[in-house]
Amino acid sequence: MLGMTDASGGAAPRAIVHIDGDAFFASCEQATHPEWRGRAVITGKERGIVSAASYEAKARGVSRGTPLWDVKKIIPDAIIVPSDYETYSLFSKRMFEIMRRFTSEVEEYSIDEGFCDITGLDRPMGCSYEEIVRRMKRAIESELGITVSAGLSCTKTLAKVGSKWKKPSGLTVIPREGISKFLSALPVGKVWGLGPATAHRCIGLGLATAQDFAAQDEKFIRCHFARPQWETWRELNGLPTFPLETELKDTYNSIGKSRTFTPPSTDREFVFAQLLKNLENACIKARRHHLAARGLVVYLRRQDFRHDVTETALDRATAFPMELTATLRQLFGSVYRPRTEYRATGVVLTGLVPQDAVQLSIFEPPAEMRKMEKLYAAMDQLAATMGKHCVFSAAAAAAHGTPQHILDRGNVPQRKLGRLKGETRRRHLRLPVMPGGAV
């Protein structure tokens, strides 16, 4: 049985599935370019490092983060393409739509993986839980042209263990009576939820495998670890602890936006323009969710990958870039180093609160605030009809008017090379483009 008994002794049968896309970005590229099947496909050309590698590339020693010049040495005939996140997102949405055909209880954990609860569906569907997962997996693979691996067990953590067990295109069931067998072969550092620091602590305590960790009594776990590790311990023992987050995320504690550009630049105004564009993007998202920020973090990434970071609290919460530009420039001036090459910028809006909870100080004229609200309401309406960033700050013009990357890294995905009827540069139909422009 997949189910177990909860801590109170009551029956708590669960059937949790984890679906995990296999080399998802590279698989999407192979699905839209069938002639690339069986070949080493690499995405990340715009970054200069591997974002995703097909299993054919992994088999020849390429992994995520490998510099592309090393890839060309290892696999001279590798197909290296810029990441097409728009198409990957469409594949992701379709994958979750297929999962929801079987159950409404679906958690979109990331772009290429998700959980679903199929508890109790064996009787109405007239088949076992394993067969339900097999049908789900088969539908995803046949309709999307990619492969996914699946894990089925009584908790989210064990289901995730199962999906990693046989890749690619595996299906692993971890029943109650088989938990220890699987965990005995799993290094403790490979457990979802136990990070490197926790794994190091486990090794120091003589716990080398996930089963060593799971086999300890509760008193030992509470003595040596914090609550998150205790929750993972429960999950590994078949006690459902982590709920499925089936609601789409619409609340945030912070919102960050960053941008990498090549070649790196020493031009002060260009780097600031990139930073201001980050701020505009972050504020657009904050306004979309009716939020305002009480704090601002700014960081610059140098060519040597070191970061210069600073932050400040705001006098009043806001999501309007015009109100934040002076503060942004002050923060930028405090960390910018002349003649230093910068390759990326980023901002984080912190301390987010509902926009309608923002209060003016006694020294601020309400009329000015209403003008600002009307101005950005009009800009957001223009963006909805004309495309994002159809209106932007003049100080950000250098970032809006130049490509993010130039030379080889400036190549763009095929999806952006042409437009279908009704499309604009920023607004595309929700269809991935196949070779030759077919959809």
Instruction: Give residue-wise pLDDT tens across range 168-209.
Output: 999 999 998 999 999 999 999 999 988 888 999 999 999 999
Helix (H) or strand (E) holding 276: helix 268-288
Q: Are residues 183 and 227 in the same domain?
A: yes
Residue 52 phi, psi (nearest 5): -150, 145
Structure token digits, residue 352: 């987010």
Q: Are residues 300 and 355 in the same domain?
A: yes
3-state class (DSSP) for residue 418: coil
What is this structure's pTM? 0.72
The total domain count for the chain is 3
Q: Are residues 197 and 156 in the same domain?
A: no
Distance CA 340, CA 313 (A): 27
**pLDDT over threshold 70, residue 251:** no
Q: Is residue 131 part of a domain?
A: yes
Q: Is residue 421 part of a domain?
A: no
Q: Are residues 26 and 159 in the same domain?
A: yes
Question: Mind listing the pLDDT tens digit for each residue in 335-366?
Answer: 999 999 999 999 999 999 888 777 666 566 66
Question: Mind listing the pLDDT tens digit for each residue in 201-248?
Answer: 999 999 999 999 999 999 999 999 999 999 999 999 999 999 998 876
The mean per-residue pLDDT over the stretch 70-86 comes to 91
Q: Is residue 25 part of a domain?
A: yes
Q: What does the pLDDT read at residue 267?
A: 93
Question: What is the DSSP code (8-state) at residue 244?
Answer: P
Question: Mind listing the pLDDT tens digit for each residue in 9-46?
Answer: 444 479 999 999 999 999 999 999 999 999 999 998 87
Q: Are residues 157 and 237 in the same domain?
A: no
- Residue 113 annotated as catalytic: yes
Distance CA 87, CA 259 (A): 20
Strand order in the sheet with 16-21: 106-110, 113-117, 16-21, 148-153, 171-173
**pLDDT over threshold 60, residue 6:** no
| Residue pair 434/418 in contact by the 8 Å Cβ criterion | no
The mean per-residue pLDDT over the stretch 130-137 comes to 97
Distance CA 174, CA 162 (A): 7
Q: Are residues 136 and 13 in the same domain?
A: yes
**pLDDT over threshold 50, residue 439:** no
Q: What does the pLDDT read at residue 412?
A: 63
Q: Are residues 229 and 137 in the same domain?
A: no
CATH number of the CATH domain containing 188: 1.10.150.810
Distance CA 162, CA 133 (A): 12
- How many C-beta neighbours within 10 Å does residue 99 have? 25
CATH number of the CATH domain containing 276: 3.30.1490.100
Structure token digits, residue 115: 């959980």
Question: What is the DSSP code (8-state) at residue 362?
Answer: T
Q: Are residues 161 and 304 in the same domain?
A: no
Does 345 or 383 have the greater pLDDT score? 345
**Domain assignment of residue 299, given as a range:** 255-400
3-state class (DSSP) for residue 80: strand
* Mean residue pLDDT across the chain: 87
For 437, half-sphere exposure in the C-beta direction (CA atoms, 13 angstrom radius) is 5
Does 225 or 415 have the greater pLDDT score? 225
Question: Nearest Cα to 240, choosing from 231, 249, 248?
Answer: 231
Q: Are residues 299 and 192 in the same domain?
A: no
Q: Is residue 292 part of a domain?
A: yes
Question: Mind listing the pLDDT tens digit for each residue in 387-405?
Answer: 777 788 888 888 887 776 6
**pLDDT confidence band for 117 (50 / 70 / 90):** very high
| Residue pair 19/136 in contact by the 8 Å Cβ criterion | yes
Q: What does the pLDDT read at residue 390?
A: 79
Question: Nearest Cα to 209, choosing from 231, 236, 235, 234?
Answer: 236
β-pair type (79-81, 106-110): unpaired
CATH number of the CATH domain containing 101: 3.30.70.270
Distance CA 126, CA 423 (A): 45
Phi-psi region of 8 (alpha: psi -120 to 50; beta: other; left: phi over 0): alpha
Q: Are residues 133 and 149 in the same domain?
A: yes
Mean pLDDT check: name the lowest of 61-65, 305-309, 426-430: 426-430
Q: What does the pLDDT read at residue 362?
A: 57
**pLDDT confidence band for 5 (50 / 70 / 90):** very low
Residue from 56, 113, 141, 280 carrying the catalytic annotation: 113
| Residue pair 158/236 in contact by the 8 Å Cβ criterion | yes
Q: Are residues 322 and 394 in the same domain?
A: yes
The mean per-residue pLDDT over the stretch 267-271 comes to 94
**pLDDT over threshold 90, residue 299:** yes
Question: What is the DSSP code (8-state) at residue 353?
Answer: E
Q: Are residues 97 and 235 in the same domain?
A: no
Domain boundary among 366, 384, 400: 400
**pLDDT confidence band for 118 (50 / 70 / 90):** very high
DSSP secondary structure, 282-311, as one string: HHHHHHHTTEEEEEEEEEEEETTS-EEEEE
Structure token digits, residue 367: 């009329």
